[in-house]
């Protein structure tokens, strides 16, 4: 966007009439192009070092969520069969009830083993996954900080260079302020400017 401003200024007829103005606008245009280039470089760096690793890290979650859902399903099956066993244990101990209790316990055993295996796996993997996030993200954050330091250092340098190019020797700040105020007064005096 800023480069459009400098391009519009460069096409202004005033640039043909005033060499000093042309030099200032050319310096501004050069600075804007450098800023755009460094901004694009920063965006590319952030894409490679932050956004893409975040996407990769996020792709782990569906499999992790599926493991949690499988564990929850196994827990529900385990609770359902455990309730069935407890129901038969509370009934009077007759032959058919004892047979059903034995059958319910036999059904419960593999479901309990399945739940305990899934639960143990999650209890082992979740803390490792949780603790690994720092090791995973730290290089991304360091790279982001480095990219921002480089970007803002370059912006400081670009604006410093631009200030030196635009700075007119022999014009103290007070004189510049008076000149700017005079030009602003001229603008305010135009009929198209509304009074505040």
Tally the domains of the chain: 1
Residue 167 inside a domain? The answer is no
Whether residue 195 lies inside any domain: the answer is no
- The answer as to whether 30 is a domain residue is yes
Residue 164: inside a domain? no
Whether residue 132 is contained in a domain is answered as yes
Residue 120: which CATH number?
1.20.1270.60
pLDDT band at residue 171 under the 50/70/90 scheme: low
Of 25, 8, 12, 17, residue with least CA distance to 166: 25
Domain that holds residue 67: 1-7+18-147
Assigned domain for 114 exists? yes
8 A C-beta contact, residue 144 and residue 43: no
- How far is it, in rounded angstroms, from Cα 180 to Cα 182? 5
The model's pTM: 0.54
Let me know if residue 177 belongs to a domain.
Answer: no
Q: Are 87 and 141 in contact (CB under 8 A)?
A: no
Report the percentage of the chain scoring pLDDT > 70. 93
**pLDDT tens-digit readout, 22-66:** 888 888 888 888 889 989 999 998 898 888 888 887 776 677 778
Whether residue 170 lies inside any domain: the answer is no
- Please tell me the distance from the alpha carbon of residue 117 to that of residue 80, in angstroms, as a whole number: 18
User: Which range in 58-67, 73-82, 169-178 is most confidently predicted, on average pLDDT?
Assistant: 73-82
**Predicted confidence band of residue 132 (pLDDT cuts 50, 70, 90):** confident
- Of residues 61 and 164, which shows the higher confidence score? 164
Q: Tell me how far apart the alpha carbons of residues 120 and 67 are, in angstroms, rounded to a whole number.
A: 12
What pLDDT shows up at residue 32?
87
**In this structure, how many other beta carbons lie within 10 angstroms of the beta carbon of residue 169?**
4
């Amino acid at each position: 966007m800023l480069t459009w401003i400098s391009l519009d200024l460069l096409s202004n007829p005033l640039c043909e009439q005033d060499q000093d103005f042309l030099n200032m606008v050319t310096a501004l245009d050069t600075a804007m192009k450098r800023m755009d280039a460094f901004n694009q470089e920063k965006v590319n760096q952030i894409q490679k070092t932050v956004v893409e690793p975040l996407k990769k890290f996020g792709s782990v979650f569906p499999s992790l969520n599926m493991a949690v859902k499988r564990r929850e399903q196994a827990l529900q099956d385990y609770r359902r069969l455990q309730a069935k066993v407890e129901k038969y244990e509370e009934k009077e101990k007759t032959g058919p009830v004892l047979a059903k209790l034995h059958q319910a316990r036999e059904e419960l055993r593999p479901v309990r083993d399945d739940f305990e295996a899934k639960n143990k796996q999650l209890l082992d993997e979740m803390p490792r996954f949780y603790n690994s996030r720092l090791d995973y993200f730290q290089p991304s954050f360091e790279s982001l900080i480095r990219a921002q330091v480089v970007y803002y250092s370059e912006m400081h340098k670009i604006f410093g260079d631009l200030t030196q190019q635009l700075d007119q020797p022999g014009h103290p700040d007070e004189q510049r302020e008076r000149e700017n105020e005079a030009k602003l007064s001229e603008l305010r005096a135009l009929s198209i400017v509304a009074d505040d």
